[in-house]
A and B are shown apart, each in its own frame.
Chain A
Amino acid sequence: MKRRTPPIIGSAALVGVLALTGCGQAGQGSGTTEDGRTQLTMWTHSAGNPAELEVYERIISDFNDSQDEYEVVHESFPQGAYNDAIVAAAASGDLPCLLDLDGPIMPNWAWAGYLQPLDLPEELTDSLLPTAVGVWDDQIYSAGYWDAALSIFARKSVLDQNGIRIPTVDQPWTTDEFGRALATLKAAGYDTPIDIGAEDAGEWWPYAYSPLLQSFGGDLIDRSTMLTSDGALNGAEAVEWGQWFQSLFADGYASNSATIGNQEFVDDEVALSYTGVWNALAALDAVGDDLLILPPPDLGTGPKIGGGSWQWAISSSCPDPEGAREYLEFSFADEYITAFADNQIVIPATESAAADSKYFGEDGVLRPFVELSQKFAVLRPETPAYAVISSTFETAAKDIMNGADVQATLDRAVSEIDANIASNDGYGFQ
């Protein structure tokens, strides 16, 4: 018997060690520094984005210098692995105190109990763009320093040459006008006149193309109940959108096998580019004064663009939410918001920060984006079902692009979404 024990103890010890290394990470955010300050852990998705990280580092060191109570310690993840890291951390109870998240995923995490209400002062959250504030169940759970916006880039010279009217925010292209513009441009020698980024995958699809659906009058889900997509995603307006979207590819106006990004427009291989503010500066460098930043077409119910970008939240397991709140309040100073906007080329969330911005101020070259965001931004549905809606919509839209029957494809997407909502007891909506 005696001889048996050592290996067993050995194995038991090994298991114990494995278990302990797992637990060693537990309780993120409960450390203390040498001089007795409480440490607040913070995760960002910005690894690989030096422009963004630089501003975060500045805020954190400014905050830490100003403090004798708290110290923020941050860790950066690459965007592709970030959501998985959060979900895994939540499952094992290791969430950091402060975390950033993509706007549309917030209701899912709030519903799952990962987050606690932000409780920032009202005058602060009221000063932000409405799309930079995440609300779930009548509570604010997240807030961001910026928003992004989509628009159509064009060259003024090309539109003038082809006799195409330059649309304005008050008078955008109508569906017919837009169709005629594409036909004219194709006749003028552009192989595919518009780059809409269909070669991309993932969240880009709902972000970029569900606003077009909304412009037709459809939607991803019936927002009055949040319980079914029936009628919204497969109604007459949605089918109209599907047929229009399909025709863009069938008629050779758009391509789905180009390079991701805005290179085709910069190289003048396409006349129009449906793309985001983040590509604007590079386009401006290439095209100069000739660049037009146009609103998307009015496909029936006015132009729409997607709203909601990365925002900040406090985890429910944060042992010191007071400190986290203090940091967030500190970080929403205009100078930092301006720095984010100018470093990263995104729309600043406050009007006062925009005023100081090099690009987004009154006379800034990228000012049109502020207006587009204020006038046309629509949030993606604020429901925990969004994870399912997003990937179902992507598959359906891709099928439609590839020539599938529109009505049947949308009906199938609706039944998939509805089955999921039902199996989750309505995600708390009924």
Chain B
Amino acid sequence: MTVTPPTVAAETPRRSLRRFRSIKGRQTWAGLAMMAPAGILLVLFLGIPVILAFGLSFTNARLISPNPPRFVGLDNFMRAFTADPVFIDSVWNTIVFALVVVPVQAGLGLLLALLVNRRLRGVTAFRVIFFIPVVTSIVVVSILWKFMYQEDGLINSMIDMLTFGAWSGVDWLNNPNTALGAIIVLSIWQAVGFHMIIWLAGLQTIPEELYEAAKMDGAGPWRQFTAVTWPGLRPTMVFVLVTITIAALGLFVQVDVMTQGGPVNSTTTIVFHAVRKGYEQQEIGYAAAISLIFFVAVLIIALIQRRLTREKA
């Protein structure tokens, strides 16, 4: 009885290998055919637009216009860096946003993951609570927070109550000094749950035996973290950093819903500026140039990150 399963198991690979050889070509083509829908969609909606944007960025094309687009060389790029103060503000805001959001969100995510990785009663409930903002549409979240940030909104009422009326708060989104900060807080709150889940997945790949061994060696919780947890999380860390950076650089929806780049350009971002130029003001050529600059910048940052976090052989 117990002998039969191994024989069957031994036979299966051999048979499938034979079949694979005999119809290898057909399988390759079947594979390609199955890839085709995704491949065609990728080319249509990713490849072609990127090539188009590259071409458009050297012209003065308009979204709608009876005049044919004219080749203008590097004019659009010159204009972005020398004659468009809003673009410079956008670049600056995007950098500030990323510089704050990347470490804080990654750090908070890890902290939450460590907290909900314990075997506590009701820990699933906490995981769900932290994850809820992630599955809520960012548009909905932005609209809700917009109400909360109002001068007589929830946040100011809370501050007012906690300080017994000593400090009544500001009109967060309409003050150039606080608007970007307000968006940063909201953005971190919204996406931190997602990165918590990624960290959590990473934590659970670390074998329990390592912790047992560490305990046997007399390591306390902090030493366990630095010697076992952190090295074990390295691949997760790279993934989290790269995804947060790219997401942070692409900041758009919150700005579009909450501030439209204001007040006084304090929250405008590169993507928002490109959308505004391209669609509202119909300067598709210039918007394509901005997008291209953005694309190159993200590429460079991602490459630098890859290099800094690569596995040292």
Contacts and interface: CB of A to CB of B under 8 A. Distances in A.
A7 B63 contact: no
Nearest to A405: B264
A11 B64 contact: no
Interface stretch (A55-63, A105-113, A223-231): A105-113
A420 B262 contact: no
Nearest to A394: B260
B244 to A, nearest CB: 29
Nearest to B62: A424
Interface string A106-128: 00110111100000000000000
B281 A402 contact: no
A419 B84 CA distance: 11
Given A14-B36, A388-B281, A399-B264, A108 B174 contact: no
Q: How large is the interface on A (under 10, 10 to 19, 20 to 34, 35 or more residues)?
A: 35 or more
Interface string B236-276: 00000000000000000000000011111100000000001
A108 B280 CA distance: 12
Given A15-B40, A112-B66, A113-B66, A402 B33 contact: no
Interface in B14-40: 25-26, 29-30, 32-33, 36-37, 40
B224 interface: no
Contacts of B291: none
Contact of A108 (B64, B260, B279): B64
A401 B260 CA distance: 14
Interface in A96-155: 108-109, 111-114
Interface string B34-70: 0011001000100000000000000010111111000
A395 B90 CA distance: 14
Given A387-B281, A391-B280, A3 B25 contact: yes
A3 B281 CA distance: 52
B281 A420 contact: yes
Nearest to B44: A18
B261 A402 contact: no
A14 B40 contact: yes
A10 B176 contact: no
B174 A402 contact: yes
Contact of A425 (B36, B67, B264): B67
Nearest to B29: A7
Contact of B64 (A109, A394, A401, A423): A109
Interface in A379-430: 387-388, 391-392, 394-395, 398-399, 401-404, 412, 419-420, 423-425
B262 A398 contact: yes
B262 A399 contact: yes
A354 B33 CA distance: 65
Contact of A387 (B25, B175, B262, B282): B282
B150 interface: yes
Nearest to B25: A3
B261 A395 contact: yes
A424 B284 CA distance: 12
A6 B29 CA distance: 9
Given A255-B151, A387-B282, A87 B64 contact: yes
A90 interface: yes
Contacts of A161: none
Contacts of A398: 260, 262-263
Given A4-B29, A14-B40, A424-B62, A388 B261 contact: no
A368 B264 CA distance: 38
Contacts of A394: 260
A21 interface: no
A92 to B, nearest CB: 12
Given A18-B40, A391-B276, A7 B32 contact: yes
A257 B151 contact: yes
Contacts of B64: 87, 90-91, 108-109, 112, 114
Contacts of B83: 419
B73 interface: no
Contact of B174 (A3, A256, A387, A419): A256
A201 interface: yes
B282 A404 contact: no
A11 B25 contact: no
Nearest to A391: B280
The 5 residue pairs across chains A and B that have the minimum distance between CB atoms? A402-B263, A7-B33, A112-B64, A391-B280, A11-B36
Interface of B: 25-26, 29-30, 32-33, 36-37, 40, 44, 60, 62-67, 83, 85, 150-152, 171, 173-176, 260-265, 276, 279-283
9 contacts: A7-B36, A10-B36, A257-B151, A388-B281, A399-B262, A401-B263, A404-B263, A419-B83, A420-B281
Interface of A: 3-4, 6-7, 10-11, 14-15, 18, 84, 87, 90-91, 108-109, 111-114, 201, 255-257, 387-388, 391-392, 394-395, 398-399, 401-404, 412, 419-420, 423-425
Given A11-B33, A111-B66, A112-B66, 14 more contacts: A7-B30, A7-B36, A14-B40, A84-B279, A87-B64, A91-B64, A113-B66, A391-B280, A395-B262, A398-B263, A402-B262, A404-B264, A423-B283, A425-B67
